Structure formats: C-alpha cells, structure tokens
Structure 1
C-alpha cells in the first residue's frame, strides 16, 4: 500500500494526535510537543501529495515513500500506545512517551523537503464500464460453440485464453447472460477458481451455485453424489472462471465428475495460461489479443461519457488517441488511470480489498468497520460520525466502479458487492507486499507484510508461513472462508497467535470452530476488531476481554451456544459495533451496557426472562440512553418486563434517529396481563424515520393509539412491516394509507378480521406502493382494501372469502401468486382471476376442495410457470381444452409445468399437450397416471421431462415406447 502513505500520514496520525491532545489536559509541555508533531505531520502531508504521483517514474522517490511509510506505521504504534495508556490511567506528568515521539520523528524533515514536487493532482475520475467492445468475432465463435448439438461427447470444453485485462471474464459473462443461451441450457453454473485449484472446493462451489445453500455433505463421496444428482441427465453450462493451476494429474479427477450431463452440455474455461488450455481441452481455444486502437478509443470515450463520433473537439479526440496508443489495447492500463486519480484516503481503502479472494461476496457493513479498525477513516470537521464517513468512502468507490454485483439480502437487508477480477488484480498490484491472501504464492510474504488473510485450505498456525512475518509489523489477520466452518482451532494455536503478534488491530476467527477464547486475548492491547462469529462450540467469553479498551467491533453472530457476555462489558469504552444476532442461548445482557456511549450498532437487546433476578441484569431503562444506535435493533422478551419498569420508562426509542429497522418481540414466556403489554407498547414509539418494523407475539388485544390513529404521521417512511402471532388482535392499524409501504407480512393472527381504515368503502388510493403481500393463518380475515400495484401475493390457510370477494379484483399487475392450504371453492374463481392478465407464476398447494382449473386459468394470458401439488380432488385429466384455449389464444406463454401428488390424474390434459412453447414438464408421485400420449413428441421446445414416483406398469410401457436419442 505504498500509494496510500498520504492517507496514513493525513488521517490516522492526525486523528491519533487529536486524541492525544484531548487526553493531556493542562500538561503544557506534553501539549506543546504534540502540537509540534501535529504541524510536522500536516507539513509532510502537503509535501508528499506530489511525491505519490512521481514515484511511478522514479525508483528513488519510490524508495523514499516506502521509508516514510515504515516510519509512519511505527509512529502510529507509539501514538496508539500513548492513547491506550491514557484510557487506563490518569496522566501524572509522564511525558517520556512524547520525548520518544519527538526524537523518533525529527529526522524526517530533511527527507520530506527532498521529496517536494511541483505537480498538481488532477481531480478528473474515469468511469469504468463493463460493455463488451471489439470482441464481435469472439462472441460469435463462443455462441456457436455453446449452441452446437452436433457433438460426439455429452460434455464439451472450450478455453478462453488471454493475459489479464483483455476481457476473458467479460466475454464469458456476455454469453452466459445471453437470453438464447439461458433458454438453450437446463442449468447454468459459474465458479470462480482463481489460484486455488481444489477439486473438493470447486465441487462444493458448484453445488452452492445451484442449491443456494451449504452442501449436505462435507466429505468428497457425499459431494460427488450431490453433484451427480444436480447435473446427471441435464444439459448444463458451467463456467470455470480464472483457472490458473489445472495440473495434468488433478484435472482428470474433476473432469470425470462433470461428464454426467446431457448431450450438448458445455464447459467454458477462462485462463491466462495456454498450458491450462492444453491440459483441459482438445479443442482450439479462443485467443484474445489487445483491443484495436479504434475499439480502445470507443472504450475510453464511453468511460468519459462520450461517443467517439459525437466529439467535436479535435484536441480532445487527439488526446484520447494518444492515451489508447500508450495503453497498447489493455484495459488494465486504463483502470490504473482511475486508481491514480483517487484521493489518498480512498486508495488505501481500495488496496485493503486485495485481502478478499476473487469473486468474494463482500459485506458492506463488515468492510466499513474493517476500514474504521485500520484507522483509514478521516474524521471530518463537521459532526459526521465515522460510520457515515466510511459509508461515503464506499459510495465514492462504487461510483468510480471499483465494486460491482450489488445485492441486498431479502431477509437481513444486508448489502453485499464484489470486485471485478481486473479490479482485484489492480488492488493486489497497488498493495504489493503489504497485503497477502492465502491463495497467493507464499513466497510473496516477507517482514514488510502487514495484512494477511487465510482461507479454508490453511490451518491457523500449521500451514500459514508465520515464520516469515515480523511480529511487530503484522496488523491484520483476516479469515476469508464461508460461514460453514473448518477444522477445529485449538486454544494452544490461539495462544501462540496472540503471543507472536501483539500489535494486531484486526483478528478474524469466524467459522474456525473456536471452542475457547484464551484469557491472554487481553494482551492484544491494540486490537480494534474481533470477529468470532459462526463458532457454534463457543459457550462463554473470558472476562479479560473487557481489558481491550481500543476494541471497536465485537462480532458474535451465529454463536448459537453462547450463554453469556462478560459481566464487565461496560469497560469496553471504545466499542461501536456489537453483533449478537442468532445467539439463541444468550438469555440476558450484563448490567452497564447502557453506559457504553460509543455504541452505534447493537443488533439485539435481550431482556432477562427471570423477573426475580432482573435487577442483576440489563433492563429496559439502559436502552434509553443508547441514542447513537443505528441500523437494525431487535428488542427481545418484552413480555417479561416488570410492571415497575413499564411505569418508569417513557419514549425509550424516540431519540434513536438513525434506527432503520426495529423488531419488537414479546417472546414465549409472557407472564404479564394484557393491560401491561398494551401500556408498554404505547411507550415503545419508534423514531419517525424507521423503514422496517416487525411485531412478534404481542399479547395485547389492540395496538397502541399512536398506531391506530396516527400511523402515517408517526412512520411516514415505513417500507416493510410484519405482524407475527399477535393472536388477540382483531384489527390492524390503517396500513393502507402508508405512502412508502412495499411489503406486508401477516402471520398467525386467528382473530384478525380487518385490515385498513375503512372497510365499507375501500379507496382506490389504498396501498399506493404495496408490491408484496403475505397472509398466513388468518382464517377470519374476509376482506381487505384494494392493492392495485401488487406484484406478489402469498396466501396460506386463508379464508375462502378472500378469493371469492374483492380481494383478487383489480390485480392486473400481479406476477406471482401462491395459494397453500386454503379451502377453495370447487373452481378457480373466474371473477377474481380474469383480472390477473400479468400473472406469470401460479403455485397451488393442498387445496382439498379444488376440482377444476379451467374457469380461472383460461384468463391467465401471461402465465409462464404453473405448479400444482397435493390437491386430492383435482382432476385435470378431463378435457377442458376448448374452455381454456378459446381464450387469449391458449396458454402459449407457458414454459414450465410441475404436477405432484394428484391422485385423480390418469392422463395428461389436452390443454397441456397443446401448449406449443413448453420447455419443462415434471410429474411427481401421481400413482394413477397411466399413459404419456404420442403428442409429447410434437413438443418442439421441450428440453426437460422428469417423471418419477409414478409406480404404474402401464406408464412404464408407455415411456419405453418414447425412448429415443433425445
């Protein structure tokens, strides 16, 4: 990270000096020394601005910058030690530390003056795009290969070869996402291999790509079996991206596991090495060269937001041509321009990201807290919090296209992103020997390496090349594996790690099977970030952890068996982020947590279930003072709050203006009467900027007055609201008037009769933004306001009146409908279904009264996916083709049909056989199905036919008649 030296000098040191100045009070001698030091650092920052750009042109300057960086790092250690001691004891005139600082730093002045340069920093930033430019021939060749079915082997392999920056991955993504390719293959999978060719890991990644969850097996035999179930008999496309190390003795093992696909299956491999292409495939590879000058100019102009043909300024065009000539057609050279023009504080944040493996899904909030832990975030002159500034850094890097593939978890709402592999290469290049990740060559580690990350193939202290690291230098020990764990990490290994690297700032041990955290953890006095999440064997933490007075982040997410936090947790005076989500055995919080004024993120506030001992633990009153809490907060066991607490506390949440998501859970151990719960809820009025609200197991009979009378005024920005197991409530607040509400979930409210403000005359303006609605277990609910913009509707154990009445009327934008365990009328109600002209997916499960589909389904002119399961009285064998196909030209948009456990099904209905564009047909456990008609052969588009669990001899004979090459 040599390029980030300005940020280190300007942000970290200046911030530490400011902290130190705040601690010395009236000790004038120490204060004067710190002020001189502050001036020196400021002067160095100004002098080094131009040196950063010059170092690429002069080895001498580069060497000077490296030396300065080492000095700055060591100075940071001294200042941090000073501040840590200041937190532990009152200063008593001891200025020895500052004398060390002054002596240490005075020799830098001459070096700094020799570094003075006269160039200005350009502020123009280039925008990176992912358009594929200048690869028309390559696109055609790859597409031709993928769509070709005239092949001898079931599975064919094509390598794409080229040096870094030429667009191998971009080309593969282009064809991978092509609509024609998506229709051609039954299954598509993408795995980023990178430096670490591990057959077991690749197989696991393929399974995760398809199943979207952790594999059921950890041993190779089980993984092989699971892989075969996924690919056998299916035409698949697999991309193995960035393959470096396919050895002649290891590649055949992986290849043999992938040969079970149907004819026409294809594997695309992107690699920089021609040798990899020779080993993996007999077919001639696609060889990528540099872009032509014209194509490079097109790329550059698009990055500048212009088109080549639209540029009138001939000087600008000439400059552009000069740039692309110097880039020699390599995009990576253009990316370097974008990096060079970043401000220094963003450069160090970007370079730090080289610690994550390629294609790694980076959690946004984790990344910003890591940056904070490293001291990369510069405090502003305004009142902005460090968290807000860190998020601005992330946003700035996003706007400059240093991150991509942004996603938001549908449950946690957590944002994630990835780095393009070229951006990752660039990050590794600029970080040089300061950062090392486990997938790299271990020879790159030396005594200057300050940040390392390790993955699942490395033991904590056994295989990592620890001996090459300088104990006083290492600052970051980051784990980059998934959350499903690895080999057991012993307490001996942890003690050795702590003993060797006492200047660690970041220690990440998530999913490392830690059973015990050693008491010696307190020796890491510089530690600012500790991640022990996903360690299911961990039961308790040592109380010595509370001596980590610099600790900012403590992540315990998913420590399912953790029973208690350290009793002296209030001594963690720097703690800003405490994540205790999914710590199911954690029954209370220790007293004093409300005194940690620095706390900005607290995921769960757990009230004690034992009222008799409640005074020994953290009570609801401590939450009142934690007004800096932001993001998500879940308050648990509200049903155990004592009557005395309810009377004493008022407006507990109103001051928490940065809170975005709130969960209020009364729990299963409620011993209060209804009146106490209702008063308590009235005093839990959230701040007006809240976006998401969940209410669970509330035992009151009505919701508080501020919800029933003034919900729109109190929560105008609410986007998502959920009610679960509020079993005594008969009516919900006027949710239909919320202007921003997009998602509404109502679960297990057996007495609920009304939703909305006025049932007698529903307004056409009700639910103006609602897109998703789920209603489960509300059997008394007979009507609700109109939802004209709804796109997704899920009904489970619903009252049949909802389907017959106006519930389904006017839903002409509905795309997805799921109906489960509902007492249907005999037919799909025509009056409601005739408005569902946009419906693309219909899923019907266990609707026992349903006997016919045609009356409703004949109106579904946009239906793509149909699934029917466990409807015992439904007989679709009857010929209803005339009734269905006479409307809207039939179901010609239908692509996928799944039929399961329909005991009355004896043959396929004619309306199904007349759908011309059907691609997938699955029939499960229909034991009375006797025949597959000859018309099935006329399905030109059918690519996948699965029939299983239908134990009928007549059907077996029918299927044998259909056996053929396809």
Structure 2
C-alpha cells in the first residue's frame, strides 16, 4: 500500500521541482532544495518498501512505521494538489477579469498559466512552509527505518508472460455429486420434514469452498426452474438487516414497497405475494445466530405452497443449529480433492502454454496446487498468479516463499491471495485495495471504478488515464481478483464483484485507511478512526442527517454514502462543512434521496475529481457553485429524472472528462459552455434543443470537440429539432465517432397531431454503423419508416418503434438476418402488415414474388458471408424470437407469404390494445410459438372465446393468456398461470 502511494507521488514531485527550478526570480530561500530533498528521501524510502510490506505481516512495529509513511504521503499529496489548484483557479478567474498590470507565466505539463506576481509569491511561501514541515517528518521516518532491518530491494517490473486473452473459469469441478444431491433435496416433497413449509436447506462450509457456486448451479438448473412458481436470490452478509432483506425479496418478486417502512408491513406484503405459491428463496452468506430475529423473519414464508424451499449458505454451523434444521437436510460442503484442485489450477496456469512448458512445470505446479488445501477459490487465485510466471525459477520462488511458513492464522488464511497481491505492480496493488470502499456483495461497473481510480490520482501520470485504467482492470480480472462478470453485447466485461474473502483481504490491507460505518437516525457505528482516508457510510434509516460532527479533520479523500435502505432514503445535507471534507477527491451520494445540493458546501470542495449524484430523482437543479470545481473530472447525474437544467458556467470545469446524464429526461438542452470543454471524452446523452436556442450547445459545437465520444448506449433526444440536412450529417458524424452498439433516437417530446415531413430526411441522414445491435426510434412523426440503411444493419438483434404515430409503410425488416426482438408501439395510421415488412415486395404476383424472394435471400447470405448463389427459398425473420405490438388502434390485417418460411424461431407474441385486428395470420401454425399474450384487443378476444385455440391457428401453443386469464390445454380458462399443469 505505501509502495503504491509513494509511486503515485513521485511524478508530481518531479514536476513541481522542475517548475520551481524554471523560475528565474528567487522567491523563497531554500525552497528548491527542500523540494529536491523531499523527493530524494521519498525515493530512498521507496527502495525498502517491498520488503517492508511483507515484513509488516509478522512485525507490528513495521506496520506502524508504514502507517506513518502513508499519512505523510497523503499530506504531501494534499500540498501538491493545493499548489496546482491555486494556479488553476487563478487562471480561470483571470479569464473573466481585467488583465493585471504585471504577469509571470508558469509552464505546467499541459499548458501555461499566468499569475500576478503578489499572488505567485503568496502561493510559493505557503507551499514552501508546508514542504519544509513535511520534509522534517519524512526525514525522521527515513531514519527510523534502520530500526527494523529493512532490506533495500530494487523495484523492477515483474517478468510476465505476454498474454492478452481473458479466460473465464466457468466450469465447476468436483461438485457433481453435491449438485445432484442438492437438486434432489430441492425437488423432494416435505414428507420427511413433518410437512413443514418451507423446508430450509443450509449449505455449510468455510470461505472460498464454493457454497455460492453450488447454490447458483442448483438455482439455475432447468428442473429446479420448472419446479417453482417463484425463485428469489438475495445476498445477506453482515449485519442481518431484516428490512433491507425484505425489500430485496419484494424487489425480486416485482412487488411495490415504496409505501412500506416498517418490518411488519414488509413481511405482510411478502406473505401476500407468495401465499399459495411454491417458491425457492436463496439467502446467500447468512451469519446471524439470533433465533428471535430469524423466527420473526421466517414467519411470512410459512404461507407458501407445499414444496417451497429456503436455501441458505453460511460459513457457521451454529447458524444451521439455531434454525433447528434436521441433520439430514444440512449439506456440509467438503474440501475438493487434489485432482479437482489441480484441474482448476492448471486450466489457468497453463492457459496458452505449449506442451514443452507444461511438461517442464507440471511437477512444481502439483506442489503449488496442493497449497490450495481443497479450496477452489485458492486454486483459481494461484492459477491466475502462475499464468504470468514465465520461468521454472519463477515457479520455484512461489513454492518456497516464506509466506507459507507464517505462524499467524490470518496470514495463513490469506497466503495464496497475498502472493498474488504482492506480485502486482504498485498501481494494480493500489487499485485493488481501493475496492475495499465497496460494501460486501456490492457490484460495481468497470467505467465507474476507473473514474474513481483516476480521481485519486492513481492513473494521472498517463496521457490517456482511461486506457491505463482499463488495462489495470483487465489485469486484475486475469489474476482472479474479481468475479461474477457482467458483459455487454460484444462480450466485454463491464461489471463485476469481489469474492467475500478478497474483500476481506482488501480491508485487511487498508486497515485504518479505509473504513465502513453504519449510520441510522441516532448514531454512527462504530466511531470513525482519526486517520481514515476513504470512508463508506451505510445509510440504514429513511431519514438520516449528514454526520458532519463524526468526520475527521481534513483527512478524507473519499466519501461514499450507500443507501442500504433500498428505494426509500432522505439524506439531509448541511449548508457547509469546510474542514472535514476540504481535501476530498471522490464523493458518491448516489440514490440518497437528495432534493437539493447546498451551494456553499459543494463550492468548498476544490479538490474534488469525482461527483456522483445519480438516481436522486427529486434533484431539480445543481447550484452554480458546482462550476467552481476546477479539478472535477467526472460528473454523474444519471437517472435524476427531475433535473431541469445544468449550471450555465460549466465552461469553468476545465478538467471535466466524463459527463453522465442518461435518464435526465427534463433537460431541454445542454449549456453552451460544454462546447468549450476540451477535455470532455464521455457524453452519454445528447439533447438537441428546440428552435436553436443560443443558450444551449449545438450539434456543431459538439462535433468540433476532438476527444468527445458518445457512449455505447447513449440516446439522442430531439432529432426532430435539427433544422437542416447539414446538421443531421454533423450528428451522424458524431455518432460514428463513438463505440455505439445500442442507439436510441427520439425525435420529439410531447404529443403531436400532425406529420412532420422533415423527420424522414433527418432519419435518412442519421445512418448508424452497421455493427449496431439495438435500435430504438421514438416519437418519429414521418410518414415512412424505410430509410435506405435499415436493411444494412446485419448485426441488429433488437429493434423498437415507439410512439411513431403516422407511418404507414414498413422497411423490409424480415430481411434482417440477426433480428431477435421486434417491438412496435403507438401508431394510429397503419392498417395492414403484409409482405413488405416480411421482406417481400408483393404477395399477388407469383413471378415477382419469386424474383424478390431470391434477391432477399441473396442479401441475407451475403451478409453472413455465404455468397447466396443458388438460393431458392426465402426465410422471413430467420432469427426472430420475441414480437410485440402495442397501441395499434387502426391495424386490421396481418398477412404472411405462402411462398416463404415465416418466423421459424418465434417463441413469444404479445399484443396490447390492437382493437381493430380481425385475426392472426395463418403462418403462426407453422412457428414454434410457446407464449401468446393478448390484452384488450376486442375483436381478437371475442374470436378466441368463441372459436377457441383451433379456430385461431394456435392449437400448438402451450401458454396462452387472453385479457389476464390463461387458457389450459383442454380449452378451459383459469386465473393463474401456475395452474396450467394442474
């Protein structure tokens, strides 16, 4: 940790030393020597840090010495940041004020700033005084290191095998018997348990043994899926928060609970939701041994149907004892065999190695794998470590490392993980340990994490810190520090979690530096440690006062406020709190129920780099003081639904790189000053203002921003406000600059009663990249929805037309070779859907139909690289699985084509308020349709009730719902879906 901190500081120190030396005027006596001395001492200390980090595990004195070094490192960082912030603030103020009489220019790495001579002298005097004090402290720490026999080691980059491929160990070894046994318990009736409902099945085992993995295998098994009406998975951890868990269960059940704030009310809603249903509830990572708490919590689940189960995972056998669970139902998870540990280890360690390497290293590998002691997580971690060890000597060094001989129980527990940690470069060590700020079981997104790392200065020495952060994130994944990956449409990892044990490791490494506290209406528990630098507050009550009095004096660099009360929270902010937060770099107040942001409070956070106010849906505006945050790099405002405007002075945010406003639907435009933010990289929502208001940024302004790239799923609002073809072409160019795979084009806001002829011209010009995977067109008021580029989207899997009121002609969507989902909502003109949408020119002339069919199929085969020669049969919508029509008031006819195969993969068809549709097409009888849902379609509903399944060509469909009632296989109607097989 200290190694990583000093590495972060050296580049800025070298920079500031250079700036002092460049000055020709002698401003402060001896300041240059003080800075140079500070740098030299820091370098000397850094040479012993690698050994000191390992020695602290056995020697508490070394740990205290490292804590002192950490504290002074933070103080140095604060001084350097004060220096840079003063200069930057002065430059921004100068741009809006008359030029001073005498100026002195100071070159900085990225630009040149000019200050008045008196201002510059005051800054130098203050910095010089602080550096002198820090130098004295650092020299004392340097002398003290001699007391601990710390060896000097030259830090050189670890020799690593060159590899760029990610390997996800998804295969589970050695748990087949356990899996089959668990599934049999879940599917078994209750006779062996005295008929009690629900049956509780605990999986008990030590950390890292695979309890959660086994539960996931059973939870997702097809037989289990078919056996229960409801399945719910909730992570519990410590403490056992009954209210939070109850709300999590209701959220999984898709039940409302915004109006419920007491445990009794929540449990009552749960009972109502599951009454008479056969459910499976998984409570992952249970620790509580409080019988009274458990009995109160479990009571509503007794209303479930026979066969309901609760599956818990726990490290403590006392938890199962407390629940009075019969021994036969307890699954005590055993350690894996050496062979199974070897399978996990070798899959990673020998990934991309040739047979010769494997033969040379296999004997040592078996000895290392035996160190896993039967724990799959340790096998995975060690395998990830050895994957990057090149030589036989490297492998022998790991096998003989002294950490295996530690007498400390905790060190033994962490040994494989500490080996992997110590093998990381300083940057990756720092970035991993910073993740201890997240609560256990909390998922985090890749981009957010990288922006947080950047805000702490870990990535600042690189010209492109985002790329450096992505490489760091990727390397931590490849060495198995993260798990439970979430991927985007391209298969890239965009989110993940940390295993509990690795979270424990991160907290162990950052003891006294990172801390997590629980805050309710009355107190904060436990009290905050004086030198905490990164603080996480878990808000557990509905109304919480910001704990100003509990914060330490000016030490915090990160403050995270996590709402553990789920949807309901009301955080009351103070008007100001200058001291405790004055050096804050990262502030996260996401989903805290904030309705206003005190300007005086926020304006004092001059060092802030990262501000997350996302998901505060009552926040209507930001104070103008936000624009005084000249160091701000990331501003997250996503899902602030009521936000009406952004501050006008945003051009002062000269370091802003990432602006997230996705879901801020009430914004009528973006401030003009955004167009002058030369560092801006990310904008996840473009708003085109009405009538070209000069107060808002234009498409032309955005197009001139060289670094700006639209997010992969960023919507573009107000396309109908574009006034010319040239503006539309500029927007199209901006779209192509990003990495968009999901595109949302909204043309107008509000309700319109007439067509807009210009909309089609704009739509034609907004040609997206062919690699697009999802496209939504909303509030489009043109008469045609057939731009030339539509059928060139060969990778498109999801297409939606929402509230496109007036179009009456479709593009030939049936020719899209990858389309899996099609949604058409809100049209008052369309009367017939026929051959044109299926991809066929006409259905009347057999000759022309045949000709068009051949051409269409050639297009599809060409898109797949198949050439298309000799194709004689056309498949319309070859991959479509889900089809929905909603609010199609005048739609009367729907035809297919007898000469083509129509929708051969169709699984689900939904129709809502299509009152004029007379019948379903004949071709549905030849599709593999499994689910049909028809709601408030008057003519169709009457026809079904009169003719039944046979008359509607859907006799083969197993699940049919008409106006919220289900049709059974015998043709009778029932109220509930779970009665279908009765």
TM-score (norm. length: structure 1) = 0.76
1:5 aligned residue: 2
Q: Does the CA contact (< 8 Å) of 1:20 and 1:83 recur in 2?
A: no
1:303 aligned residue: 348
1:696 aligned residue: 746
SS at match of 2:368: helix
| Match 2:533 to one of 450, 466, 470 | 450
Q: Does the CA contact (< 8 Å) of 1:546 and 1:569 recur in 2?
A: yes
When structure 1 is superposed on structure 2, of 13-22 and 141-150 the one drifting more is 13-22
- Per-residue deviation, residues 196-242 of structure 1 (Å, max 9, x unmatched): 21222111101112329875644445533432343221211111011
Change (3 A) 1:473 1:718: same
Q: Does the CA contact (< 8 Å) of 1:591 and 1:616 recur in 2?
A: yes
- Rounded to whole Å, the distance in 1 between the matches of 2:20 and 2:639 is 38
- Rounded to whole Å, the distance in 2 between the matches of 1:706 and 1:511 is 36
SS at match of 2:49: helix
1:641 aligned residue: none
- Rounded to whole Å, the distance in 2 between the matches of 1:463 and 1:283 is 47
| Match 2:942 to one of 866, 873, 884 | 873
Q: Does the CA contact (< 8 Å) of 1:197 and 1:243 recur in 2?
A: yes
1:385 aligned residue: 464
Count how many residue pairs are aligned between Structure 1 and Structure 2: 844
Change (3 A) 1:705 1:605: closer
Q: Does the CA contact (< 8 Å) of 1:50 and 1:121 recur in 2?
A: no
- Per-residue deviation, residues 685-737 of structure 1 (Å, max 9, x unmatched): 424344354433374436559946x958xx45444443333323534233212
Change (3 A) 1:169 1:445: farther
SS at match of 1:875: helix
- Rounded to whole Å, the distance in 1 between the matches of 2:25 and 2:143 is 27
When structure 1 is superposed on structure 2, of 173-182 and 523-532 the one drifting more is 523-532
2:869 aligned residue: none
Change (3 A) 1:281 1:178: farther
- Per-residue deviation, residues 618-653 of structure 1 (Å, max 9, x unmatched): 556643543322333xxxxxxxxxxxxxxxxxxxxx
| Match 1:166 to one of 202, 205, 209 | 209
SS at match of 2:788: coil
| Match 2:727 to one of 632, 655, 680 | 680
- Rounded to whole Å, the distance in 1 between the matches of 2:800 and 2:262 is 39
Q: Does the CA contact (< 8 Å) of 1:158 and 1:283 recur in 2?
A: no
Shift of 1:266: 0.6
- Rounded to whole Å, the distance in 1 between the matches of 2:24 and 2:589 is 41
Shift of 1:433: 3.1
- Per-residue deviation, residues 242-272 of structure 1 (Å, max 9, x unmatched): 1112412211111101112111111011112
SS at match of 1:367: helix
- Rounded to whole Å, the distance in 1 between the matches of 2:641 and 2:778 is 23
- Rounded to whole Å, the distance in 2 between the matches of 1:665 and 1:153 is 59
- Per-residue deviation, residues 508-553 of structure 1 (Å, max 9, x unmatched): 2233233443313333332222223333444444333333322222
- Rounded to whole Å, the distance in 1 between the matches of 2:637 and 2:439 is 23
2:594 is equivalent to residue 514 of structure 1: yes
| Match 2:313 to one of 259, 270, 276 | 270
Change (3 A) 1:201 1:923: same
| Match 2:323 to one of 280, 291, 314 | 280
SS at match of 1:194: coil
SS at match of 1:578: strand
Shift of 1:775: 3.6
- Rounded to whole Å, the distance in 2 between the matches of 1:579 and 1:178 is 38
SS at match of 1:268: strand
Give 1:652-663 correspondences, 5 Å limit. 661=714, 663=716
Change (3 A) 1:722 1:279: same
2:781 is equivalent to residue 727 of structure 1: yes
- Rounded to whole Å, the distance in 2 between the matches of 1:116 and 1:13 is 21
SS at match of 2:325: coil
1:843 aligned residue: 910
- Rounded to whole Å, the distance in 2 between the matches of 1:901 and 1:530 is 45
Q: Does the CA contact (< 8 Å) of 1:241 and 1:269 recur in 2?
A: yes
SS at match of 2:801: strand
2:367 is equivalent to residue 322 of structure 1: yes
Change (3 A) 1:85 1:771: same
Give 1:952-963 correspondences, 5 Å limit. none
2:512 aligned residue: 433
- Rounded to whole Å, the distance in 1 between the matches of 2:689 and 2:64 is 59
- Rounded to whole Å, the distance in 2 between the matches of 1:401 and 1:290 is 20
1:92 aligned residue: 120
Shift of 1:483: 9.6
Task: Flag structure 1 segments of 5+ consecutive residues without an equivalent.
Answer: 633-658, 789-801, 915-920, 926-942, 948-965
2:823 aligned residue: 774
Q: Does the CA contact (< 8 Å) of 1:157 and 1:281 recur in 2?
A: no
1:145 aligned residue: 185
- Rounded to whole Å, the distance in 1 between the matches of 2:261 and 2:435 is 29
Give 1:357-506 correspondences, 5 Å limit. 357-380=439-462, 384-407=463-486, 415-438=494-517, 442-443=525-526, 445-457=528-540, 467=550, 470-481=552-563, 485-492=567-574, 495-496=576-577, 498-506=578-586
Give 1:502-901 correspondences, 5 Å limit. 502-518=582-598, 519-604=600-685, 614-615=693-694, 622-632=701-711, 661=714, 663-666=716-719, 676-687=723-734, 688-690=736-738, 691=740, 692-697=742-747, 699-701=756-758, 703-704=760-761, 707=764, 711=767, 715-730=769-784, 731-749=786-804, 752=807, 767-776=816-825, 777=827, 779=830, 784=836, 809-820=875-886, 821=888, 831=898, 835-848=902-915, 855-860=922-927, 862-869=928-935, 870=937, 871-875=940-944, 878=947, 891=956, 896-900=959-963
Give 1:38-77 correspondences, 5 Å limit. 38=39, 41=42, 44-56=45-57, 59=60, 61-77=62-78
Q: Does the CA contact (< 8 Å) of 2:719 and 2:746 recur in 1?
A: yes
Shift of 1:596: 2.8
Change (3 A) 1:603 1:92: same
- Rounded to whole Å, the distance in 1 between the matches of 2:646 and 2:508 is 42
Change (3 A) 1:166 1:27: farther
| Match 1:133 to one of 173, 198, 207 | 173
Q: Does the CA contact (< 8 Å) of 1:129 and 1:401 recur in 2?
A: no
- Rounded to whole Å, the distance in 2 between the matches of 1:354 and 1:607 is 40
When structure 1 is superposed on structure 2, of 499-508 and 180-189 the one drifting more is 499-508
Q: Does the CA contact (< 8 Å) of 1:848 and 1:872 recur in 2?
A: no
Give 1:14-25 correspondences, 5 Å limit. 14-15=11-12, 17-18=14-15, 21=18
- Rounded to whole Å, the distance in 1 between the matches of 2:41 and 2:729 is 56
- Rounded to whole Å, the distance in 1 between the matches of 2:55 and 2:360 is 26
1:934 aligned residue: none
- Rounded to whole Å, the distance in 2 between the matches of 1:560 and 1:378 is 33
- Per-residue deviation, residues 836-867 of structure 1 (Å, max 9, x unmatched): 3322223344555667769444323x333333
- Rounded to whole Å, the distance in 1 between the matches of 2:33 and 2:679 is 29
- Rounded to whole Å, the distance in 2 between the matches of 1:473 and 1:256 is 46
1:945 aligned residue: 979
Change (3 A) 1:624 1:297: closer
- Rounded to whole Å, the distance in 2 between the matches of 1:359 and 1:771 is 33
Q: Does the CA contact (< 8 Å) of 1:724 and 1:748 recur in 2?
A: yes
- Rounded to whole Å, the distance in 1 between the matches of 2:222 and 2:552 is 53
Q: CA RMSD in A?
A: 4.4
- Rounded to whole Å, the distance in 1 between the matches of 2:585 and 2:241 is 31
- Rounded to whole Å, the distance in 2 between the matches of 1:163 and 1:572 is 50
When structure 1 is superposed on structure 2, of 472-481 and 777-786 the one drifting more is 777-786
- Rounded to whole Å, the distance in 1 between the matches of 2:905 and 2:691 is 53
Shift of 1:663: 1.0
Task: Flag structure 2 segments of 5+ consecutive residues without an equivalent.
Answer: 91-114, 379-414, 749-755, 841-851, 858-873
- Rounded to whole Å, the distance in 2 between the matches of 1:399 and 1:816 is 36
Shift of 1:141: 3.3
- Rounded to whole Å, the distance in 1 between the matches of 2:514 and 2:417 is 20
